[in-house]
Amino acid sequence: MYKKVILPILILSAAHASADFSISLNFASGVEESYKSAFNDAASFWETQITGYRFDDINLQGINISANVATNDGVGGTLGSAGPTSGYVFNGIVLDGDASPSDVLYSTAGSMTFDSADVDNLIAAGSWETVIRHEMAHVIGFGTLWGFENGGTTYNDFYINGSGQYTGTAGLAAYQAEFDSGATYVPVELGGGDGTANGHWNEIDGGAGLTGITDGSGNDMANELMTGWLNSPSYVSNTTLGQFYDMGYSVIPEPSSILLVALFGSVGFWIRRQFLI
């Protein structure tokens, strides 16, 4: 099981000095040398998928992430947890596809913690980088900054806690194109308790079976990277990438492709990105 963590977020007001989206890693003492390459690979993965900011007049430069390995609940159970710790706000922005201005909150720093009892097993199973990618996505904002409320303002306003319904435009369009052409929302996990619920795509509780929701290549939603439980092999759907577009990031594939595919109801128009571990 994965847990997202909602941390107190420091809203920054000072401008950064460089450009593009990059992930900087700070390794805590518990992170052994043999663990580190997977962190760097996971960072490179997201830097490839997320190319920059759709709105940025101050040159945001990416995210600083603290990587930690610590004792938690022993073998199995919670593999890791992560979330943003600071962010930058743009108010009243009309993003492509938005019907009205919204408030965008970008993560600028965050923390990931992995259970030391699980790391060697994950490495042996070939899933270590997968789990890091998953937690890194939470730091970037997946499931942690949907409908985030702070000081009476709601940011990234496309998920209501407890609804189980993600309604971001690009994420939903990609989901319609990949998994369910008639969907009116992307199903969000409500099981697994605090931290797992409301922060992942939906699957069978406990990861205990296939969902029957498959893309054009037969990949079941249970194996998508951002469900609440690790299932191998995993892949990253365009629904997840579209979700980052909704959050204000430029992503690959380009969102016009996502929206175009939805418009014409085709699933074979582009190359989906699949990563078999």
Nearer to Zn ion, 220 or 224 (CB): 224
Contact pattern for Zn ion over residues 3 through 42, marking x by CB under 5 A: -x--------------------------------------
With contact defined as beta carbons under 8 Å apart, do 144 and 233 qualify?
A: no
Around 36, how many Cα atoms within 13 Å sit in the side-chain half-sphere? 11
Task: Examine residue 229 and tell whether it contacts Zn ion (CB under 5 A).
Answer: no
CB of 209 to Zn ion, least distance (A): 19
Give the span between the Cα atoms of 277 and 273, in whole angstroms.
13
CB-nearest residue to Zn ion: 2
Positions in 175-214 near Zn ion (CB under 5 A) = none
CB of 156 to Zn ion, least distance (A): 17
Task: Examine residue 2 and tell whether it contacts Zn ion (CB under 5 A).
Answer: yes
Total of residues contacting Zn ion (CB under 5 A):
2
Beta strands in the chain (DSSP E): 2-4, 10-12, 22-27, 50-53, 62-70, 80-93, 102-115, 148-150, 153-155, 165-166, 186-187, 249-251
Task: Examine residue 142 and tell whether it contacts Zn ion (CB under 5 A).
Answer: no
With contact defined as beta carbons under 8 Å apart, do 66 and 113 qualify?
A: no
For Zn ion, the binding residues (CB under 5 A) are 2, 4
